[in-house]
Amino acid sequence: MTDSIQQADLQIKWQRIRQAMQQAHADGCLLTVDVNLYYVTGTIFSGYVYFPAEGEPHFFIKRPVGIEGERIHYIRKPEQMPEIFASAGLPMPRKLLLEGDELTYNEYIRLLGLFSPAETGNATSMLRALRAVKTPWEIDQIRQAARAHEATYRTIPECFRPGMTDLQLQYEIEKRMRENGSFGLFRAFGANMDIFMGSILAGDNAETPSAFDFALGGAGMHPSVPLGANGTLLKEGTAVMVDMAGNYTAYMTDMTRVYSVGKLSETAYKAHQTALTIQAEIMQAARPGVCCADVYAIAARIAAEENLSGYFMGTAQQAKFVGHGVGIQINELPVFTPRSKEVLEPGMVFALEPKFVIPGTGAVGIENTFLVTADGIEKITQFEEEIIALPG
């Protein structure tokens, strides 16, 4: 299915999964959710992968036809799996992990009934913890995504024409994203994450509180898609926050930049500099062993010192996080909240996004994607960080 470099990468992942299962005293885990299948096979199919705690995985495929390889079993329905286990000499698991935060209730119950394990555990938690620490191949994919992401952002000034709306600007950017290789599809974990290719927030629309779990809101085009740009005119004095997806490989980057129409309010420039200060202090402090709650605390402290707490991550509704893991999905682990217990480890990749919403102006701040290295963090997304004036 995949080339030899990626095959070697899969072996690393499979070994980590086996180790995690042994630590959880699990005998096997059954995966079927698209992002988990991609993670463990480098492809997406309709079916299941079963990992025993020791030995090689087995693949149970419904669609597409024509996949060849070892331990591949074509099935019409999951009820055929137990008899294939028996004929393949694969023991039925005593403790089975299933994707409890991703499978629907009825799918979970159906699979549970087929295996009737004595004990169950959560494959979603295990996979999300493993996926938080990227492999060298994954980090390379993220670096490639960053280069395309930056290339698209370089074209943003040419997308702008005076008198246009936030939506019109977004359509121009989307077109350039696609021409630069964006997959379009935007993958997120969990409900309450309805988004299309990213978000542009201009002017007071940045204050509109969101139904979703993203950092900021915006009214969106319609009550059925209540997020992001809403047709706001990009008039003089408007801050335009561009947070469009970095989905140029299967592993995303996340990057936000602020553009201005004419000159912004002084508070906006001050808040933007504060966001850059937050980023700089966190870049000094963050390294393996640092707790994600302490990273959040740095951001909140600096916002308070600058008397900007009321604008930090929103106004009427404020997001209580300042960063999040990124990878196959936009919201992977770790999460940087006031109470995060997660600790930074080498190989983690996360987006840090200190942002402020300034009434009458819009949203300012910064977002970059970082890699946790052996002794610090490395900024992967490289692009001008000051507020960029759009051509008059």
Give me the residues that bind a second copy (CB under 8 A), please: 1-2, 32-34, 38, 42-46, 63-66, 98, 100-109, 122, 124, 167, 170-171, 174-175, 178-179, 181, 183-185, 191-192, 194-197, 208-213, 217, 221-226, 249-250, 316-317, 328
Distance CA 60, CA 50 (A): 8
Nearer to a second copy, 173 or 264 (CB): 173
Distance CA 154, CA 351 (A): 20
Residues in the chain: 392
Q: Which is nearer to a second copy, 2 or 19 (CB)?
A: 2
Distance CA(232)–CA(213), nearest Å, equals 22
Q: Identify which of 389, 245, 253, 255 has the alpha carbon closest to the alpha carbon of residue 326.
A: 253
* Nearest Cα residue to 239 out of 204, 199, 279: 204
Q: What's the closest the beta carbon of residue 302 comes to a second copy, in angstroms?
A: 25
Q: Which residue has the tokens 């499979």?
A: 14
CA dist 131 → 39, 140, 374 (Å): 8, 15, 18
Whole-number Å distance between alpha carbons of 200 and 106: 37
The whole-angstrom distance between residue 48's C-alpha and the CA centroid of its chain comes to 23
Q: Smaller CB distance to a second copy: residue 87 or 106?
A: 106
Of 136 and 231, nearer to a second copy (C-beta) is 231
| Distance of closest approach, residue 285 Cβ to a second copy, in angstroms | 30
Which residue reads 């005593």 in tokens?
Answer: 94
User: Least CB distance from residue 46 to a second copy, whole Å?
Assistant: 5
Q: In angstroms, give the least distance from the CB of 224 to a second copy.
A: 4
Q: For a second copy, which is the closer residue by CB, 14 or 38? A: 38
Q: Which amino acid is at 370?
A: F
Question: Minimum distance from CB of 111 to a second copy (Å)?
Answer: 10
CB of 208 to a second copy, least distance (A): 8
